[in-house]
A and B are shown apart, each in its own frame.
Chain A
Amino acid sequence: MKRFGSFNIFSLIVGFSFLYIPIILLILFSFNESRLVTVWGGFSTKWYGELMQNQGIKDAAWVTIKVAFVSSTIATILGTIAGLVMTRFGNFKGRTLFSGMIYAPMVMPEVIIGLSTLLMFVALAIDRGIFTVTLAHITFSMCYVAVVVQSRMSSYDDSLTEAALDLGCTPFRTFILITLPIILPAVISGWLLSFTLSLDDLVIASFTSGPGSTTLPMKIYSMVRLGVTPEINAVSTILVGVVTLGVITASLIGRRQKQQVLKTQHT
């Protein structure tokens, strides 16, 4: 029986062209000499130079990095605990509500999350700024971490944990010594995912940020509204580059981890 035929090759080529041509064109035209984004005027890196002169973009980038770093770190801790609770704590009171609060933010339209979080901050008289954006980012990122960690937790054998507990290891030590090393690749990719989610978020940040805490996507959005410029292409290219590097690193870590597991199983 023919398994991988010409239809498959065709749909992969068309599908991946669709996914990648826009990004490749975007990167290509960031190196364009001409100010027109659609006409090639020769190779140049001048837009990157111009970018370095743009204080607004640099400030926004700094805010974004701070928010992304802090929110992804806290989200990873909370999300890992949540993933653990979802897989290893059986049925507890309010479990359905808990899993609802984990899954709903992943599909809930961002405008609803942004508006509702903002209205609460206003009602509680919490000043909008980096702090509020970070809180909002932690909340949706931790759900992604929880799901990533949960899928890893449910795919490994629990007998090691049980053995440790039987031998008198405390639950906390068992988690640090046994569970954490096993789920570490998931925790790392959860952190990276949170970091990029925070790096990318426009809608929720627009609602929850205040004056002086403009994030990079908010800055890019306000530039895009004024028109397509090679500067936007340049800053986009940098962002795409950073994320690509992160994803490749994460997958290499994952692969190495897998090989180590295989090695230890063979010896």
Chain B
Amino acid sequence: MQTNPNFFKSIFNGRNAVIAIPYIWLLLLFLLPFIYVLKISFAETIYARPPYSPLLIWGDSWLPSIKASFDNYLFLFSDSLYIKAYLSSLKIAFISTILTLIIGYSIAYSVARAPTRWRGILLMLVILPFWTSFLIRVYAWIGILKTEGLLNLALMSIGIIEKPLMIMNTDLAVYIGIIYSYLPFMILPLYANLEKMDMSLLEAAADLGCRPFKSFWTVTVPLSIPGIMAGCFLVFIPVMGEFVIPDLLGGSETLMIGKVLWTEFFYNRDWPVASAVAILLLAILIVPIMLYQRSQEKAIS
């Protein structure tokens, strides 16, 4: 075989080697695992180690026979629990993204409009919870929301309510937990966008007689759409597969697909069904993830 030495030289030059280091790492440890999930989602659950059947069976012939079954996917569609969990996750992720956007926007907007000398410290106050453990922040709400928790104690001592509110282990607790945990993810991209907004546009609008409320809707909001998109993706996509919040704050009727996957894997030890759940979730999220990637690439170029 004829090989061109320049070909090898051009492949193994320094530039390609630098690209190759992180590239190969991500291929092996991020992309390759998905191929295994896909493969195992077509396997059968068996009592063995590992608990799934092989996909390729090496028989007498030189070609292996493929033993793939769609049973796991058929199972997901036959048992209404899974469909309900996907739909419920979509609903919870959608509603909490909207609520986080409303709350996050007013905070990001206020930080961006604050006097310059305050902005650094205000931004720091937004970032700090973002660095603090997710698990701890969710845990903090258990003591507040539970029946004999701090919120009920406070409200009852003031006399606003007589009987304790039942918030813990309901969908409301899940919404509170999600908004609380994901708020910094919404605020940061919104702030980055609002902070560099050209104020002269708003002044021009005001000079031309536009009311502040109207110029907010016709100037500020349309200009901040890239920030809104980035923030919404950063909340919506991970919340779809959220496990910790529904597990710790939600109740038995809170259905979320991340929790279903966890249960299939850790409690039922049904790896193939857990894989099928993951593949279907990925299929739902692949478009939002690609849109997010594209919006980020646009932002840097």
Contacts and interface: CB of A to CB of B under 8 A. Distances in A.
Contact of B22 (A142, A171, A217): A142
A26 interface: yes
Contacts of B133: 196, 199-200, 217, 236, 239-240, 243
B180 A19 contact: yes
A9 B109 CA distance: 11
Nearest to A84: B18
Given A11-B106, A123-B36, A142-B25, A108 B285 contact: yes
A220 B135 CA distance: 8
The 10 residue pairs across chains A and B that have the minimum distance between CB atoms:
A109-B241, A116-B33, A8-B110, A82-B22, A22-B140, A15-B107, A11-B106, A101-B26, A107-B237, A120-B33
A215 to B, nearest CB: 11
A50 to B, nearest CB: 18
Contacts of B135: 200, 202, 217, 220-221, 224
Interface in A109-157: 109-113, 115-117, 119-120, 122-123, 135-136, 138-139, 142, 146-147, 150-151, 154
Contacts of A87: 300
Interface of B: 14-15, 18-19, 21-23, 25-27, 29-34, 36-37, 40, 50, 103, 106-107, 109-111, 113-115, 122, 124-129, 131-137, 139-144, 146, 148-150, 153, 180, 183-184, 199, 202-203, 206, 212, 233-234, 237-238, 240-244, 248, 258, 261-262, 265-266, 271, 274-275, 278, 281-282, 285, 288-290, 292-293, 296-297, 300
B55 to A, nearest CB: 11
Interface stretch (A91-99, A158-166, A179-187, A259-267): A91-99
A15 B111 CA distance: 11
Contacts of A25: 140, 143-144, 150
A26 B14 contact: no
Contacts of B126: 19
Given A19-B183, A103-B293, A220 B212 contact: no
Interface of A: 1-4, 7-9, 11-12, 15-16, 18-20, 22-23, 25-26, 29, 37-38, 78-79, 81-82, 84-87, 89, 92, 94, 98-113, 115-117, 119-120, 122-123, 135-136, 138-139, 142, 146-147, 150-151, 154, 171-172, 193, 196, 199-200, 202-203, 206-207, 217, 220-221, 224-225, 228, 232, 236, 239-240, 243-244, 246-247, 251
A155 to B, nearest CB: 10
A1 B50 contact: no
Contacts of A202: 134-135, 244
Contacts of B19: 85, 89, 92, 98
Nearest to A80: B22
Contact of B285 (A109, A115, A146, A151): A109
Given A1-B203, A23-B129, A112-B278, A151 B300 contact: yes
Contacts of B107: 11-12, 15-16
Interface hub of B31, B129, B240 (most chain A Cβ within 10 A) = B129
A187 to B, nearest CB: 14
A226 B213 CA distance: 50
Give the interface SS of chain B, mostly helix, strand, loop or mixed.
Answer: helix
26 contacts: A1-B202, A7-B106, A11-B106, A15-B103, A18-B183, A23-B132, A23-B136, A26-B143, A81-B18, A81-B21, A85-B23, A99-B293, A103-B293, A108-B237, A109-B237, A109-B242, A116-B36, A120-B36, A123-B40, A199-B133, A206-B266, A217-B133, A221-B135, A236-B139, A244-B128, A247-B128
Q: Name the residue in B19, B202, B238, B288 with the highest tally of chain A Cβ atoms < 10 Å from its Cβ.
A: B19
B131 A115 contact: no
Nearest to A23: B140
B114 A8 contact: yes
Contacts of A116: 33-34, 36-37, 278
A98 B297 CA distance: 12
Contact of A154 (B140, B183, B300): B300
B273 to A, nearest CB: 11
Given A84-B18, A120-B36, A220 B238 contact: no
Given A16-B107, A220-B135, A221-B135, 5 more contacts: A86-B300, A101-B31, A107-B288, A109-B281, A119-B33
B261 A228 contact: no
Contacts of B285: 108-109
Contacts of A246: 131
Contacts of B129: 19-20, 23
A36 B132 CA distance: 24
A2 B37 contact: no
A199 B132 CA distance: 10
A108 B289 contact: yes
A117 B33 contact: yes
A108 B238 contact: yes
A113 to B, nearest CB: 8
Nearest to B103: A15
Contacts of B233: 107
Contacts of A22: 137, 140-141, 144, 180
